[in-house]
């Protein structure tokens, strides 16, 4: 080895869209220049201009001269115009490759369309783009040299590789070559080379196959034992889910090679799985960066971080999966059964992805990216398999995979995910033996809807530890949809001093901000299709809040005599609704006597005490068949005790008629904490069409349930979209009055709890911060795994330390207010603020353990 200091190489790869405009080359120049200024040797690997490889592919497949010439002309024009746009002067290098294109098109080999010819044609895209690139960098005063990738990447055929694979999907054994690295460094500091191609032992051009340019960068990274390979593309990196399906997906700031490989293999498109192995073997770190946002850190892929806590890193899904289920016929534990069936797959050239076995059944999956799975192949396979077993083909399926190191140690956090799968038909579950993935195969049609829900559940269960900034970066939506309105800053930040003073006098204590309540009420009132608004006072019946809300023109929806009484006391003028569930007979009579509108949701009152309602109007609460909401316990459709089932509607009408009762309104409330505006439109449409049939119906009440985002990951309910959706239905059914009855939306953000830290403790790996507010003050985390932001108000601007569990003083293991919270170092006496506690906080408090729950204060 030479005794020169080792050259320090950075390999930068730019994809098709990143090399297709002059502006992009300015960015490439800036990135390269920055590395050069840091004393690094830089090798730039480029793809063809976007779309060119596809055109070249069509050219290789064209059978006549005319289409070939048309494509040739388009390709020439594209590069000419790029040359002009870049205001380049030296035309000779470009001319050389354009002539080469002409020669290849004219070449007699074109008629035969041989593989070596195809490879040479396909390689032209990168030869052209790299030539333009070098000329452009030189014009920008960067001394760049053109490097022929084929001189340095030497393909070797794999065992059993056919001719197609050898020419169009070649592999390169790339191990660090310090002599080459030094020699190249001696020639200069900046090179531009081509992705996607190599040369075989016969000196012919070969192509690396799909993802080829990334793989080239990775090969060069390994060969040069680069300090780093950066793949510059049009997305910031790998995400915790496909951002097109899950806009809340998080950028993955750091992955180890195996995790990245697993994510790439199971569905993520940003990096081809092939390109990880060369850098992994050479231990070269690889990063993904966004050319349009060079300031973003991107995804760093490297060796396993020793202190990494287990976390699900991503959820990916692959469609087009075919399952083959093979039931053995009376051959239990027969020696060689598996060998026999697998032999058939091998014979039909099919590579198996997942396998599930039982004593009598083996089910395997075939992935379309690895196999040519068409009906001919399948029927031939099935015919063979039928000789040894009963065969069933299940397709199309999707494989949904959770990826993360140490999957088995996270099972206890996956109960929500498993419950969600429990509601679906799962054909196969497979856990990889490397402990990196857990895969569920389901019907393809449900995958797209399921993935966002599962992503959300993983975050809520803290199986995906998005709070860990070392691993998880920003949400895709925040990076790329800047127009999404940022959440308004919380009122309690501005009033911190006042709150700290208040906490001196008493903790634990609920504090409410009336201005927030007012603002929420006014915002709802702008939704013009709603004719009358009611407030579900169960969310918070504090008199000051009720008064404020009634002043804003809201009626009050009550579910008990106690709530009705409170409503009369505080706002006697407000219209009241009585919407109880399984209430005793006397309560209806009393409410009706007080002039309150009654809602029934069962046949029983008509069957047993029909006379109580004779000659009156009632509202009917229906169960439309499916619940929604932030947790199973707040979903009030289907398997819940609420609402009349639709198949009892005729009987209900018959009894109403018999007792001379008029059904004046239909009502549905299907759950709480819903953030999707389309939900109420669905409810409205269904009620309207039922209302039309019933005839006597005047009013449709679409319930409450309007959610407020609890975690940064959730998107606020779009009130404008809600108004628009409701207006559409209103236009179709103008005859009905529209009512709604939210609770949480008006008050959740208006309330916080102030609590004082009592003790801190470390046990095992967990640090606890105890405070004087417990589950008797706020039961939502224990009951619904609800997330409430917790801040140390005393040290609000101090840097966060290691994650803690925030607990209360109640004698229950479930007395936990927050898990894995990064508070600043917290001491006895500090004041904690528990946010978003205005709804279902004090209202659900208890005296458990004979501890007084937090009191209530209005600011
Ligand atoms: N209407 C009816 C008939 C209801 O049952 C409810 C709530 C509402 C309206 C108001 O729903 P809201 O807009 O507040 O989501 N304790 C749970 C929520 C239970 C909601 C019960 N019913 C929680 O803390 O999340």
Q: Which residues of the chain are in CATH 3.30.2130.10 domains?
A: 314-464
Q: Is 811 designated active site?
A: yes
Q: How far is CA 712 from the centre of its chain?
A: 13
Residue (of 711, 633, 626) closest to 672 by Cα position = 633
Whether 397 and 427 have beta carbons less than 8 Å apart is answered as: yes
pLDDT of residue 368: 74
Catalytic site residue from 382, 389, 509, 811: 811
Which residue is listed with tokens 């609920």? 510
| Mutational test site, ligand 1, from 538, 578, 784, max ligand atoms within 8 Å of CB | 538
- Residues 536-563: what's their mean pLDDT? 98
Please tell me the residue having the least CA distance from ligand 1 atom 20.
Answer: 672
Which residue is listed with tokens 């906080």? 841
Ligand 1 centre distance from Cα of residue 635 (Å): 9
Provide the pairing of β-strand 314-328 with 361-366: antiparallel
Please tell me the residue having the least CA distance from ligand 1 atom 16.
Answer: 840
| Whole-number percent of the chain with pLDDT over 90 | 66
* pLDDT of residue 712 exceeding 90: no
Please, is 340 exposed, middle or buried when counting C-beta atoms within 10 Å of its C-beta (0-12, 13-18, 19+)? middle
Please tell me the residue having the least CA distance from ligand 1 atom 22.
Answer: 672
- Residues 717-725: what's their mean pLDDT? 91
pLDDT of residue 70: 84
CA–CA separation, 391 and 382 (whole Å): 6
pLDDT of residue 488: 53
CA–CA separation, 547 and 573 (whole Å): 11
pLDDT of residue 273: 85
Mean pLDDT score across all residues of the chain? 91
* pLDDT of residue 725 exceeding 60: yes
* pLDDT of residue 370 exceeding 70: no
Q: Give the nearest ligand 1 atom to 672 CA.
A: 15
Ligand 1 centre distance from Cα of residue 669 (Å): 8
Ligand 1 centre distance from Cα of residue 839 (Å): 9
CA–CA separation, 358 and 475 (whole Å): 41
CA–CA separation, 367 and 350 (whole Å): 9
Q: How confident is the model at residue 306 (pLDDT cuts 50, 70, 90)?
A: low
Q: Give the nearest ligand 1 atom to 840 CA.
A: 24
Whether 722 and 799 have beta carbons less than 8 Å apart is answered as: no
The count of other CB atoms within 10 Å of the CB of residue 823 is 22
Q: Give the nearest ligand 1 atom to 673 CA.
A: 15
- Residues 600-626: what's their mean pLDDT? 94
Q: Give the nearest ligand 1 atom to 671 CA.
A: 15
Look up the CATH number of domain 751-858.
Answer: 2.40.37.10
Q: Give the nearest ligand 1 atom to 631 CA.
A: 25
Tens-place pLDDT, residues 685-697: 999 999 999 999 9
| Fold for the domain defined by 514-747 | TIM Barrel (3.20.20)
Tens-place pLDDT, residues 476-501: 888 876 433 334 578 998 888 899 99
CA–CA separation, 142 and 409 (whole Å): 51
* pLDDT of residue 135 exceeding 80: yes
pLDDT of residue 429: 92
CA–CA separation, 422 and 479 (whole Å): 34
Tens-place pLDDT, residues 285-300: 999 998 888 888 899 9
Ligand 1 centre distance from Cα of residue 127 (Å): 64
Among the listed ranges 305-319, 429-443, 649-663, 834-848, which one has the minimum average pLDDT value? Answer: 305-319
Ligand 1 pocket, residues with Cβ under 6 angstroms: 536, 538-539, 557, 579, 634, 669, 672-673, 703-706, 741-745, 780, 784, 840
Ligand 1 centre distance from Cα of residue 673 (Å): 8
Q: Give the nearest ligand 1 atom to 579 CA.
A: 3
CA–CA separation, 41 and 38 (whole Å): 9
* pLDDT of residue 85 exceeding 90: no
Among the listed ranges 77-81, 110-114, 480-484, 593-597, which one has the minimum average pLDDT value? Answer: 480-484
pLDDT of residue 486: 39
Tens-place pLDDT, residues 255-286: 999 999 999 888 777 888 889 999 999 999 99
- CA end-to-end span of the chain: 76
Look up the CATH number of domain 9-233.
Answer: 3.40.1160.10
Ligand 1 centre distance from Cα of residue 698 (Å): 24
Tens-place pLDDT, residues 505-521: 999 999 999 999 999 99
Q: Which residues of the chain are in CATH 3.20.20.10 domains?
A: 514-747
* pLDDT of residue 12 exceeding 90: yes
CA–CA separation, 133 and 144 (whole Å): 9
| Mutational test site, ligand 1, from 532, 535, 537, 539, max ligand atoms within 8 Å of CB | 539
Please, is 492 exposed, middle or buried when counting C-beta atoms within 10 Å of its C-beta (0-12, 13-18, 19+)? buried
Q: Give the nearest ligand 1 atom to 630 CA.
A: 25
CA–CA separation, 228 and 219 (whole Å): 12
Ligand 1 centre distance from Cα of residue 286 (Å): 49
Which residues share a beta bridge with 194?
46
| 366 against 5, higher pLDDT | 366
Please tell me the residue having the least CA distance from ligand 1 atom 23.
Answer: 840
* pLDDT of residue 172 exceeding 80: yes
Ligand 1 centre distance from Cα of residue 183 (Å): 72
- Residues 545-557: what's their mean pLDDT? 97
The count of other CB atoms within 10 Å of the CB of residue 78 is 17
Please, is 452 exposed, middle or buried when counting C-beta atoms within 10 Å of its C-beta (0-12, 13-18, 19+)? middle
Q: How confident is the model at residue 113 (pLDDT cuts 50, 70, 90)?
A: confident
Q: Give the nearest ligand 1 atom to 844 CA.
A: 16
Ligand 1 centre distance from Cα of residue 672 (Å): 5
| Mutational test site, ligand 1, from 520, 540, 744, 834, max ligand atoms within 8 Å of CB | 744
* DSSP element (H, E) containing 180: helix 178-187
pLDDT of residue 295: 82
CA–CA separation, 313 and 417 (whole Å): 15
* pLDDT of residue 369 exceeding 90: no
* pLDDT of residue 123 exceeding 50: yes
Q: What is the DSSP letter of 584?
A: -
pLDDT of residue 472: 92
Q: How confident is the model at residue 371 (pLDDT cuts 50, 70, 90)?
A: low
| Whole-number percent of the chain with pLDDT over 70 | 96
pLDDT of residue 428: 92
Tens-place pLDDT, residues 650-659: 999 999 999 9
- Residues 220-246: what's their mean pLDDT? 92
Ligand 1 centre distance from Cα of residue 782 (Å): 17
| Mutational test site, ligand 1, from 517, 704, 842, max ligand atoms within 8 Å of CB | 704
Tens-place pLDDT, residues 372-404: 667 778 889 999 999 888 999 998 899 999 999
Please tell me the residue having the least CA distance from ligand 1 atom 5.
Answer: 669
pLDDT of residue 337: 79
The torsion angles phi and psi of 518, rounded to 5 degrees, stand at -60, -45
Look up the CATH number of domain 314-464.
Answer: 3.30.2130.10
Ligand 1 centre distance from Cα of residue 705 (Å): 6
pLDDT of residue 409: 87
Q: Which residues of the chain are in CATH 2.40.37.10 domains?
A: 751-858
How would DSSP label each residue in 375-415?
A: HHHHHHHHHHHTTTEEEEEEEEEEEEEEE-TTGGGGGGGGH
pLDDT of residue 831: 97
Among the listed ranges 241-245, 352-356, 511-515, which one has the minimum average pLDDT value? Answer: 241-245
pLDDT of residue 160: 77
Among the listed ranges 129-138, 342-351, 551-560, 574-583, which one has the minimum average pLDDT value? Answer: 342-351
pLDDT of residue 387: 86
Ligand 1 centre distance from Cα of residue 744 (Å): 7
3-state percent breakdown (helix, strand, coil) of the chain, nearest 5? 40, 25, 40
Please tell me the residue having the least CA distance from ligand 1 atom 6.
Answer: 704
Q: Give the nearest ligand 1 atom to 780 CA.
A: 24
* pLDDT of residue 739 exceeding 70: yes
pLDDT of residue 839: 98
Ligand 1 centre distance from Cα of residue 706 (Å): 9
| Mutational test site, ligand 1, from 743, 751, 779, 784, max ligand atoms within 8 Å of CB | 743
Q: Which residues of the chain are in CATH 3.40.1160.10 domains?
A: 9-233
- Residue 661, token pair as written in the block: 């009762």
Among the listed ranges 241-245, 286-290, 548-552, which one has the minimum average pLDDT value? Answer: 241-245
pLDDT of residue 111: 66
CA–CA separation, 231 and 44 (whole Å): 10
Q: How confident is the model at residue 447 (pLDDT cuts 50, 70, 90)?
A: confident
pLDDT of residue 2: 43
Q: How confident is the model at residue 333 (pLDDT cuts 50, 70, 90)?
A: low
| 736 against 712, higher pLDDT | 736
Q: Give the nearest ligand 1 atom to 745 CA.
A: 13
Q: What is the DSSP letter of 594?
A: T
Which residues share a beta bridge with 429?
440
| 64 against 849, higher pLDDT | 849
Please tell me the residue having the least CA distance from ligand 1 atom 19.
Answer: 634
CA–CA separation, 41 and 472 (whole Å): 30
Among the listed ranges 155-159, 224-228, 714-718, 784-788, which one has the minimum average pLDDT value? Answer: 714-718
- Residue 832, token pair as written in the block: 């904690």
| Mutational test site, ligand 1, from 527, 536, 556, max ligand atoms within 8 Å of CB | 536
Please tell me the residue having the least CA distance from ligand 1 atom 8.
Answer: 704
pLDDT of residue 396: 86
């Amino acid at each position: 080895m030479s005794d020169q200091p080792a050259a320090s190489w950075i390999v930068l790869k730019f994809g098709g869209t990143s090399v297709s405009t002059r502006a992009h080359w300015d960015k490439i120049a800036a990135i390269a220049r920055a590395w050069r200024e840091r004393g690094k040797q830089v090798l730039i690997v480029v793809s063809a201009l976007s779309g060119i490889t596809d055109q070249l592919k069509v050219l290789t497949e064209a059978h006549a001269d005319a289409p070939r010439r048309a494509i040739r002309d388009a390709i020439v024009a594209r590069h000419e115009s790029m040359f002009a746009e870049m205001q380049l002067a030296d035309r000779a290098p470009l001319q050389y490759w354009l002539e080469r294109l002409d020669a290849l098109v004219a070449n007699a080999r074109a008629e035969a369309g041989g593989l070596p010819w195809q490879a040479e044609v396909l390689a032209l895209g990168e030869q052209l783009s790299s030539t333009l690139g070098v000329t452009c960098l030189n014009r920008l005063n960067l001394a760049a040299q053109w490097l022929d990738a084929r001189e340095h990447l030497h393909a070797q055929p794999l065992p059993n590789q056919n001719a197609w694979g050898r020419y169009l999907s070649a592999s390169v054994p790339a191990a660090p070559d310090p002599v080459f690295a030094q020699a190249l460094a001696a020639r200069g500091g900046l090179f531009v080379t081509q992705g996607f191609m190599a040369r075989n032992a016969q000196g012919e051009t070969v192509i690396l196959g799909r993802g080829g340019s990334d793989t080239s960068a990775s090969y060069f990274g390994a060969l040069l034992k680069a300090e780093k390979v950066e793949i510059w593309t049009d997305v910031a990196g790998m995400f915790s889910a496909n951002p097109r399906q899950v806009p809340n997906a998080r950028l993955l700031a750091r992955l180890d090679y195996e995790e990245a490989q697993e994510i790439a293999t199971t569905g993520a498109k940003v990096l081809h799985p092939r390109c990880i192995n060369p850098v992994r073997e050479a231990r070269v770190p690889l990063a993904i960066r966004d050319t349009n946002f060079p300031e973003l850190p991107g995804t760093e892929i490297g060796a396993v971080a020793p202190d990494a806590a287990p976390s699900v890193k991503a959820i990916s899904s692959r469609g087009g999966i075919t399952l083959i289920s093979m039931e053995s016929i009376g051959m239990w534990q027969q020696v060689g059964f598996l060998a026999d069936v697998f032999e058939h797959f091998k014979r039909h050239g099919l590579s198996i992805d997942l396998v599930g076995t039982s004593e009598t059944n083996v089910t395997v999956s075939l992935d379309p990216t690895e196999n040519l799975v068409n009906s001919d192949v399948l029927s031939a396979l099935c015919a063979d398999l039928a000789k040894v077993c009963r065969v069933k083909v299940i397709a199309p399926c999707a494989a949904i995979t959770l990826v993360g190191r140490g999957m088995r140690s996270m099972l206890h956090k996956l109960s929500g995910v498993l419950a969600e799968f429990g509601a679906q038909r799962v054909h196969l579950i497979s856990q990889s033996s490397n402990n990196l993935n857990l895969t569920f195969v389901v019907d393809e049609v449900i995958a797209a809807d399921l993935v966002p829900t599962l992503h959300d559940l993983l975050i809520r269960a803290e199986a995906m530890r998005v709070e860990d900034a070392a691993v998880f970066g920003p949400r895709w939506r925040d990076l790329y949809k800047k127009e999404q309105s940022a959440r308004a800053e919380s009122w309690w930040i501005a009033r911190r001093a006042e709150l700290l003073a208040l906490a001196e006098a008493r903790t634990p204590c609920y504090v409410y901000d009336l201005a927030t309540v007012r603002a929420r009420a006014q915002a709802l009132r702008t939704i013009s299709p709603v004719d009358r608004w009611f407030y579900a006072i169960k969310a918070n019946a504090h008199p000051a809040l009720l008064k404020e809300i009634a002043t804003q023109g809201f009626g009050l929806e009550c579910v008990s005599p106690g709530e009705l009484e409170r409503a009369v006391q505080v706002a006697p003028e407000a219209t009241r609704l009585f919407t109880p569930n399984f209430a005793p007979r006397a309560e209806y009579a009393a409410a009706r006597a007080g002039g309150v509108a009654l809602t029934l949701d069962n046949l029983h009152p008509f069957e047993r005490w029909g006379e109580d309602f004779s000659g009156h109007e009632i509202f009917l609460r229906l169960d439309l068949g499916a619940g929604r909401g932030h947790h199973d316990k707040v979903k009030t459709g289907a398997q819940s005790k609420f609402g009349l089932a639709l198949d009892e509607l005729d009987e209900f009408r018959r009894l109403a008629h018999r007792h001379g009762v008029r059904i004046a309104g239909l009502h549905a409330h299907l759950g709480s904490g819903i953030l999707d505006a389309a939900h109420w439109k669905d409810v409205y449409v269904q009620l309207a069409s039922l209302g039309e049939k019933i005839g006597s119906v005047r009013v449709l009440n679409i319930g409450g349930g309007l959610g407020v985002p609890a975690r940064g990951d959730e998107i606020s309910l779009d009130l404008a979209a809600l108004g628009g959706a409701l207006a559409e239905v209103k236009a179709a059914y103008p005859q009905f009055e529209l009512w709604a009855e939210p609770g949480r939306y008006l008050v959740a953000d208006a309330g916080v709890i102030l609590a004082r830290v009592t003790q801190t403790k470390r046990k095992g790996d967990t640090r606890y911060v105890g405070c004087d507010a417990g589950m008797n003050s706020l039961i939502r985390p224990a009951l619904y795994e609800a997330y409430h932001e917790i801040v140390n108000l005393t040290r609000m601007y101090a840097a966060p330390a290691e994650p803690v569990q925030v607990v209360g003083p109640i004698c229950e293991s479930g007395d936990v207010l927050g898990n894995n919270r990064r508070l600043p170092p917290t001491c006895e006496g500090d004041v904690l603020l528990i946010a978003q506690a205005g709804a279902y906080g004090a209202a659900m408090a208890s005296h458990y353990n004979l501890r007084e729950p937090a009191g209530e204060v209005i600011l």
